[in-house]
Chain A
Amino acid sequence: MTRKTRRLWIVIACVACVGSAAALTLRAFSSNIVFFMAPSQVKANPPSPDRTIRLGGMVMAGSLHRINENGTPVNAFEVTDGQAAVEVHYTGILPDLFREGQSVVALGTVQKDGGFTASEVLAKHDETYMPKEVADELKRTGKWDPRFGKAPDASSWDTMTAKKAGG
């Protein structure tokens, strides 16, 4: 074995060692890297009221109630992951992207009654990028309601909007 080949093998061995060490560490810590908890997890084992957690999920359609209390908006809505729903209360201005059917991440505490009091609400948009005209057309023709789920496949947008324009 030449010196070069030996050096190559040493480098490969080092990379493999560091790589597997990192992979194992990440596996072990993966529960701590989770940015937010889902409503079903919160319902299954509710964290104590003094612990601040992040709750992530979709805003349930028709669950949003906004009232204005002395100039500050008070919002109540339900966050769901499809299996369970948690009622969230938040006082303050919601982000622009907030809407029913949108994914959100709320920072706050779980109350004794199972409700969630948020101190901060972040909107989490999905990976679908759709021109406004396409979205309007899909909504107008009733092919997609953003409040009830993900947008259809990007490859189908052309045919879905073209058919309507033709007929």
Chain B
Amino acid sequence: MIASDYFNGEPFAGTRLPRRHSAEVRVPVRPTPNLLHRYANPGQFLRLARALLPWLSSGAILFLTIGVIWGLFIAPADWQQGDTVRIMYVHVPMAWLASSCYLGLAVCAVLSLVWRHPLADLAAIEIGPVGACAAALCLITGSLWGEPMWGTWWVWDARLTSMLVLFFLYLGHIALIRAFDEPARGQRAAAILALAGVIDLPIIKFSVQWWNTLHQPDSITLTGAPTMSMMMLWPLLICTIGFTLGVAAVIFTRLSAAIHESRARQMMARSRLDRRDSQVA
């Protein structure tokens, strides 16, 4: 199967195009790899991750340091919420990351279901817990913001409920993808769940416009001017970039580790087979 020889050390040298001078180089058995396969090939991915990781992680640290200091100490207090508005600088990035990680899961689901891409399944396993963390943090910081400002930890309005549904979708995905002895079956089931759950994303986004909610409408929209002072918008933007870079770095690192682990497992399994063969002989 294609999937298995992806993870072995050498065989994906076969996916490279034959070099000019060596006529006897074996042409890949598979049909010529398309762009998708070339860039999502684990070896290519490891190289990409190794090149990007230092930039991602140092960028995340830089942006988060500036953003958190700006948000906590320099940005002005809101005229009615006072200093409590500073929770926004962590709450909004978490909401954004929870949604975008789920979108990532859905993209992985399509790649896995349609193109049977092995890297997509590994990525789905690694993105899930990170997104679940973001969703949980979004709910918790929202609760910590709601109690002093609205006067309640939790209400069952459309925005809060749909966000809670997203958190449960993450939990379901995490459980489902690990639920079967045969990994491929769990990955298939989890991919279907991820795709079905995508419907929750527009519901979260537009819940504050479609229904009366306690949660206020979005301050930043694609169409209109932000209803927020620039003095607050800048630190929010910087914090969002910082957290996004950080999550990208974490996912890249986890995925690299997963590829290494999978290769090591495969080599172990093969050497065990070899040993059995030699014993039989």
Mark A residues whose CB is within 8 Å of B.
4, 7-8, 11, 14-15, 18-19, 22-23, 26, 30, 33-36, 38, 56, 95-97, 99, 102, 105, 120-136, 146, 151, 153-155, 157
Mind listing 9 A-B residue pairs with CB under 8 Å?
A4-B115, A8-B110, A18-B196, A35-B211, A99-B80, A127-B217, A127-B228, A129-B85, A131-B232
Given contacts A19-B199, A35-B155, contact A154 B76 (CB under 8 A): no
Residues of A within 8 A of B88 (CB): 129
Closest to A136 in B: B79
Partner of A131, one of B76, B115, B156: B76
Query: Could you tell me if A125 and B225 are in contact, using CB atoms closer than 8 angstroms?
Result: no
New A-B contacts (13) at CB < 8 Å, excluding given A127-B227, A128-B219, A129-B232: A8-B114, A11-B113, A15-B195, A22-B203, A122-B155, A123-B150, A125-B81, A125-B149, A126-B227, A128-B228, A129-B227, A131-B76, A154-B226
Return the chain B residue nearest A21 by Cβ: B199
A157 and chain B: residue at smallest CB distance:
B229
Could you say which of B85, B151, B226 has the most chain A C-beta atoms within 10 Å of its C-beta? Answer: B151
Q: Are A134 and B225 in contact (CB under 8 A)?
A: no
A95 touches B149 (CB 8 A): yes
| Bound Cα distance A43, B82 (Å) | 35
Nearest B residue to A126, CB-CB? B216
Q: In the complex the two chains form, is A35's CB within 8 Å of B149's CB?
A: no
A134 and B79: CB pair below 8 A?
Answer: yes
Q: Find chain B residues with CB under 8 A from A136 CB.
A: 79
**Of A11, A19, A105, which is within 8 A of B114 by CB?**
A11
Q: How far is the CB of A99 from chain B (nearest CB, A)?
A: 8
Taking a contact as CB atoms under 8 Å apart, the answer to whether A130 and B229 are in contact is yes
Q: Please determine whether B212 and A95 come into contact, CB atoms closer than 8 angstroms.
A: no
**Interface of chain B, main secondary structure:** loop
Query: Quick one: which of B77, B82, B151, B210 contacts A95, CB cutoff 8 A?
Result: B151
**Closest Cβ of chain B: how far from A90's Cβ, in Å?**
11
Q: Let me know if B212 and A7 touch, CB within 8 A.
A: no
Residue B213 interfacial (CB < 8 Å): yes
Q: Which residues of B contact A129 (CB under 8 A)?
A: 78, 81, 85, 88, 219, 227-229, 232
A30→B207 CA distance, assembly (Å): 11
Point out the residues of chain A lying under 8 angstroms from B199, CB to CB: 18-19, 22-23
B172 at the interface (CB under 8 A from A): no
Evaluate whether A132 and B79 lie within 8 angstroms (CB atoms) in the complex, with A127-B216, A127-B217, A155-B225 already known: yes
**B149–A154 CB distance below 8 A:** no
